[in-house]
Every structure is written in C-alpha cells, then in structure tokens.
Structure 1
Amino acid sequence: MNQFQSEQALSQKVIFKFWLPLAATWLMMSLEGPYLAALIARLPEPKFNLAAYGIAFSLAMIVEAPIIMMMSASTALVKDYKSFVALRKFNYRLSLALTVAMIVFSISPVFYFVTEDLIGLPHNVAYLTHLSIIILIPWPGAIGYRRFYQGILIRNNQTRFVAFGTLIRLISMTAVALLLYLFTQIPGAAVGASALSSAVIMEALASRIMANNILKKIKSDISSIEPTSELSQKEIFTFYYPLALTSILTLGVQPFVTFFVGQSRNALESFAVLPVVTSFVFIFRGLGLSYQEVVIALIGDKFEYAPQIKSFAIKLASLTAGTLIIIAFSPLRDLWLEGVSGLNQSLAEFAHLPLMIMSFFPAMTVLISFERAILVKNKHTKTITIGTATEFISILVVLAICIRYFDLVGAVAATISFVIGRMAACTYLFPPVVKALNIKS
C-alpha cells in the first residue's frame, strides 16, 4: 500500500483526481498528429512529405514498441531505492539497444534496401523518410527515459506532473515546428520529425526533474536499506519481455490490416476514412488507456481496493462508450467528419458505418486496461502477451473472412475485425483476472 492510500479512503472522487491528469495527458498527445500533419500540409510538396513523415513515424514506433510498457513496469516494480536502481539499469540497457537499432537502420545501404527494395517506396519519398529517421534517432531512448520516471511519479501520486510533462512536450513541439516552418526551408517531413524528437527529449528531462524529490525520499527512506528481496536483471527481464512482446504485436498488426484493406472493395475510400475514424475513436480510447496505471498504483498489494477500482471502471466505460455511441448514431457525427476532419459529404457518409461499429470500442479499452493492470500487478505478464496474440490472430482471421468470403467494404471489415479481436482478448484474459482477484481478496 502506498502512502496515498494509507492516508485517504479510496473514494470515487479520489480515483477521479488521480486519473484526470493521466487522461489529460492522453488527450494532449492525441493532438500531436493532427497539428503536425496540418503544418506539413502547408509546406511545399505536401503529398510526399506527409507520406514520408507518416512512414518514418510508423517505423520509429515499431522500434520504440519494446520500451512503451516501461511506465507500467516502473509503476509496478519501483518500491524502494534498490528496485529503482535495478529497473533503471534494465531501462538504460534496453534504451541503448533500441537506439543502436535506430542507428543501424538509418545507415544508407540498410535503409534504402528496406524502404526501396522491400517496401517499394519511390526514391524521393524514401529520401525524405531517411532524413526523418535520422532526426528521430533519439526517439526510443527519450521515450524509455521519460516513461520510466513517469511510472515513478504515478506510483507516488504525482500524476499531475505527468500531465505537466506532456504540456511541456506540446509547447516544445509547437515552438520548434513553428520556428522551422517560418524561418527555414527544410522539408515538411523533417519539420515534423524535428518537432517530435525535440519535444520528447524536453518531456523526458522535465519528467526526471519533477521526479527528483521522490528519488531523494526513496533513497533516504529507512525501509529502502532494510533487507529486502532485490530485483535481479533476470527477474526484471522475465517480468518485462511479455509486455514488450505485447506492444510489438499491437503495433505489428497494422501492416497486415493495410494489406487486406488494399484487396477489398472501395479500398481507396477505406484508406481515406479509416485514419479519420480511428483517430476520433482514439480520443475516447485514450481515456481508457490512461486507466491501466491508475489500477496498478491504487488497487493495493492485496487488491483491497478492487471494488472501488471496478466501480470507477464501469462508470468510465459507460461514459466514454456512451458518449461516442450518441455521436456515432446521430447527426453529431457529421460535425466531426465534415466540419473538423474536412471529409466531403460522400466520404463522410462512407465513414458512418465504420464509426458506428467502433463506437463500442472505448468500453472494451477500459476493460482490457483493467485486466492488464491486474495481471501486471500480479506479475502474470505472459498471460497479457497471449491475450494480445489472441487479438492479433482474431483480427487477421476475421478480416480475411470478411473480405475474401463476404466481400465487405475494407473499412467495414477492418472495424469489425478490430472489435471482434478486442472482444476475443478481453474474453481470454477474464478468467485469469477473476482468479487473481479471488486469490488476493
């Protein structure tokens, strides 16, 4: 039990105040993509630069994938100074390995073999992508550094600092992007990559500074020098590698979805509306994704606060999914699709059904965040990986059946597969989660 729990009853109001800064963090991060895309679109050769920026960002995300779960790991594992040092060492090693991978990938013969020979990018797009990847070399290391200290902040009830860090990231990104946009002639893809790379470095440094008082406290805490079971690197690896595989599988499904959608009816229209639909749904999903660290931090070592945590999860799922359902099934949807996203009327109508199908997704995001948090807290991380693999396979099977045998429109088939895949994962994780809760309680 952390100090925050020992001092206050875990009411719904307390959970809300703890969760709100994390939710704000996800909402702020959801603004990055649209902002940078809008800026790049106003620079010369927007089509090539937008494509190059999007590809570079996707490739960087794949390299980053193994480090994404570091925030959950530090929230769960950093209990004293010894565990802090052990996980920091593991984090540095992993971050260094991913940075080396970025450097090797950016070597010209390697990069152009992958992008031109294997993927088939035109040379001008590949060149712009290469420039962006070089700029993004610090990205995985900065992400690992930032998420490690954010987990410590979350565990010690300093979630508002996580939101402050993201605000610093947004301000830094905006400033760099505008300066390069106004006073340089560099390509748009490089503007976007420079803004992202500098912003995440600033957020990482801010997170470390804001965690300084906590680090002083746990270093001087008498409990940290009493005999305890010290975390070994092998134990951390056993705990963490399933989480890394989970992130890799989650990000790795997208190329397969792109391939199948490309073989479907109305492929071009599907490619046009899917990013609009999924980015809008992500605003509501982010509120659920932010709940995972809340559960890890607040549920208690013996899950003594499980009833309160479950109650808040039900309210959060109802609010997020309920709001999106109201929008998706009413004329309000066109305010976003046409007014904000800029789709013409025919594409907006094309997006109606995919949006309605995905409107239930935020509730399942809350559920799977709760389930994964319980399993992380119980150190059953391999189960999470199997659940993600179940989702991955389900998406591909359903997508193939919908397109090959039912000849569905690509966007409809994709959104159906996303929903069924997530349902399969939630269903698989449910029994071990129930078992863990019953054993602890």
Structure 2
Amino acid sequence: MARGLIGAPEEIIEPSRIGMMLTLPWTWAIAYRRFNQGVLIRSGLSLAVGTGTMVRLSTELAVLGTAWIVGTIPGAAVAAATLCLGVVAEAFYAKFRVGPVRKELPIPPPGTPPLTQRGLLSFYIPLSLTSVLLFAANPLVSAAVSRMPEAISSLAVWPVVNSVSFIVRSFGVGFSEVVIAVIERPGAVRQLRRFGIVISAVSFAVFAVLAMPPLATPIYGTVVGLKPELVSLLAKYLWLLAPLPLLAVAQSYCQGAILHGRRTRSVTEAVFVFLFATSAMLVAGVLWGGVVGLPVGMAALVLGETLRTGWLWLRSRAIRKELWSSSQPAALGSDASYPVL
C-alpha cells in the first residue's frame, strides 16, 4: 500500500511500518479515554480532563527523554511510541478519575424513554464516520505530495506542519465540548460567541508567534531539529495555515450546536465537503506538477477546512437561530427517532 497506493519514497517505508506497529494500542486507548472523559464532562469535572492532558504530556516527555538519552532508537519509532504511550497513560488516568463519578450520575426523570441500541447507533455512526474520514486526509496528502517536486523534503516537514496545525487548532477544538455542555443555559449563546472571539484571538496570536520568520531557526531548527534547508522551506510557507485557528473555533461552535440538536449527519456531510475540496486541490497540484508539494498540501488543507466550516455554519443556522431566540431552549429535532443522550 505504501509503495503502490501512496507512492512513498522507499527510504521511509520501513520506518513507517515500525511506527504503525507501535501505534496498535492507539485506537483502543483513544476510545477508552473519550468514553471516560465524556462522563467527566457530563459531571462537570472538565478540570480532570485537563489534568489528563498533563499526564499525557508528562508521559510523552518521559519517553522522549529516555529515547534521547539512549540515542540509538530510530526517530519514527520514538515518535510512534511517544504518542501511543501518552494516550494510553491518559486513558488509564481518565478511568481512575471516573470511578467515583459513575456512582453519582443523575438518574433520569420518571417516564424518560430508555436509550436503545438503534438510537445510540443513529447518533454515533455519523460521528464515527467523521473521524474515519478526517484521518483519511493525511494519507491523501502524503500520496499527493509524494508525486510532486521536492517530495522527500515536503514529507520530512509535513509532521511539523501537522504539529503546528494541531497546536493552533487545539484551543478551538476544546471549545466544542464547552458548547455542548452549556449551550442550553439562558444567555449561553451570547456568552459563547464572546468567548469564541477571545479564543480565536489567543490561538491566532500563538500562530503568529510560531510563524514569525525570526523565530523559525530557534523553534524549528534548534528545538525541533530540522535541517537548515527544511527550516527555510517550512518558514516560507507556514503562513498558509493562518486561517486554521479561526476556522477551528467556528467549527466547534457550529458543531456543538448541531450535536445539541441531535443532527449528527450534518457533521459527516461537512467532512465529505472537506475531503472533496482537499482531494480536488491535491489532484490539481499533482497534474500541474510545477509546484512544491508542501504548499499545495497546506493550501488544500486550508481550503477543505474553510468549506467544511461554511457547511457546518449553514447546517447549524436553524438550530442557532432557535437557541438565540429562546431563553429556555427545548429539545430540538433529530435525524432519527431516539431519546436525548
């Protein structure tokens, strides 16, 4: 698959295979962590989720430090083991914190219809497809970049691009859980909008620091360890990611409203829009063949996220309008008949 479908350079195939093997527990750990974090958020213990993140980061730093001391472990193996062990540690911490909470979860009022398997699947499947489809974007970018000029340099820099993208979008991604948790409260829509503006400003300021050319060598050369030519390549095009911090906040706001309205199908639709736009631009870049792969991949990502945000905004408009006009929002409609989760 790596050779034929993705077209990866031969020298990176074996390190990638080892990395994939080391991340086998990743899926289980993510699912287990998310389940327990959902209970914590439902119980108002969002601070425990943040503490879990610190556990994850501490574990990752410990693994990285150990690998640095040893000094002979391949970089791909170190990266894969670091990410996987960090998530596993966070999952076990979430399980530890959720134990006492589960016994104190509120009992549904009398007459509340039970949650059925069909109802759960109707809500869950569109969301699970969303994650699967979003993860499909990375192989698409890798496959396209591998077929463009300066493929090896672009692929070497792409993990750093992903890291910067993750950092500047993380402020907005966490906003989704906040929207879901409080959007029903009176006056919440106005406060969420104001808070979203603050988050957008903070995340964009972080991006501005990370994208400043004078800081490229200290950050990406000294700290990250990229070679000078790769630092120059990254610094030249990093500004293309500028819209991502703002888009992440808007996506979370709209997606939170959609989840409140139990219309999860709209979230999956938005991801299809994202994949179509991203794929179209990547194919155009490959067919043209005259542009370095890195900026094409970054521009395709931003284009896809922009159209995805626009679709979420349109599909959530009716829900947001109802929430805005109602001081005591009622339960909204759904794509399928099932009790409110």
Quick check: TM above 0.5? yes
Q: What is the deviation of 1:334?
A: 3.5
Describe how 1:286-325 pairs up with structure 2 within 5 A: 286-300=170-184, 304-325=187-208
Describe the superposition over 1:58-113 as per-residue Cα deviations: whole angstroms up to 9, x where unpaired: xxxxxxxxxxxxxxxxxxxxxxxxxxxxxxxxxxxxxxxxxxxxxxxxxxxxxxxx
Tell me which residue corresponds to 1:91: none
403 and 192 in structure 1: CA distance in 2 versus 1, 3 angstrom threshold: closer
Tell me which residue corresponds to 2:320: 437
Matches of 1:405 and 1:118, distance apart in 2: 19
Residue pair 1:281, 1:359 contacting (<8 A) in 2 also: no
Residue pair 2:211, 2:239 contacting (<8 A) in 1 also: yes
User: How large is the Cα RMSD of the aligned pairs?
Assistant: 3.3
Matches of 1:260 and 1:344, distance apart in 2: 23
The reply on whether 1:226 has 2:122 as its aligned counterpart is no
Matched residue type, 2:93: A
Task: Give the stretch that moved more between structures: 420-429 or 402-411.
Answer: 402-411
In proportion to residue count, which structure has more helix? 1
Equivalent position SS for 2:316: helix
Q: What is the deviation of 1:200?
A: 3.6
The reply on whether 1:262 has 2:146 as its aligned counterpart is yes
The reply on whether 1:252 has 2:139 as its aligned counterpart is no
The reply on whether 1:240 has 2:240 as its aligned counterpart is no
Unpaired runs of at least 5, structure 2 = 327-341
175 and 249 in structure 1: CA distance in 2 versus 1, 3 angstrom threshold: same
Equivalent position SS for 2:136: helix
Tell me which residue corresponds to 2:335: none
1:141 to 21, 28, 32: 28
Matched residue type, 2:228: Q
Matches of 2:140 and 2:65, distance apart in 1: 35
The reply on whether 1:167 has 2:54 as its aligned counterpart is yes
258 and 344 in structure 1: CA distance in 2 versus 1, 3 angstrom threshold: same
Q: What is the deviation of 1:368?
A: 1.0
Tell me which residue corresponds to 2:334: none
Q: What is the deviation of 1:205?
A: 2.8
Equivalent position SS for 2:295: helix
Q: What is the deviation of 1:356?
A: 0.8
Matches of 1:176 and 1:343, distance apart in 2: 20
351 and 119 in structure 1: CA distance in 2 versus 1, 3 angstrom threshold: closer
Residue pair 1:291, 1:366 contacting (<8 A) in 2 also: yes
Describe how 1:56-95 pairs up with structure 2 within 5 A: none
192 and 332 in structure 1: CA distance in 2 versus 1, 3 angstrom threshold: closer
Residue pair 1:166, 1:203 contacting (<8 A) in 2 also: yes
Tell me which residue corresponds to 2:161: 277
Residue pair 1:162, 1:207 contacting (<8 A) in 2 also: yes
Matches of 1:117 and 1:394, distance apart in 2: 23
Matches of 2:240 and 2:293, distance apart in 1: 13
The reply on whether 1:353 has 2:240 as its aligned counterpart is no
Identity across the alignment (%)? 28
Q: What is the deviation of 1:323?
A: 3.6
Tell me which residue corresponds to 1:40: none
Matches of 1:428 and 1:225, distance apart in 2: 36
118 and 208 in structure 1: CA distance in 2 versus 1, 3 angstrom threshold: same
155 and 352 in structure 1: CA distance in 2 versus 1, 3 angstrom threshold: same
Matches of 2:208 and 2:279, distance apart in 1: 25
354 and 130 in structure 1: CA distance in 2 versus 1, 3 angstrom threshold: closer
Matched residue type, 2:56: R
Residue pair 2:6, 2:139 contacting (<8 A) in 1 also: no
Q: What is the deviation of 1:172?
A: 4.3
TM-score by length of 1: 0.64
346 and 318 in structure 1: CA distance in 2 versus 1, 3 angstrom threshold: same
Matches of 2:209 and 2:11, distance apart in 1: 45
Tell me which residue corresponds to 2:250: 367
Matches of 1:164 and 1:368, distance apart in 2: 25
Q: What is the deviation of 1:425?
A: 0.8
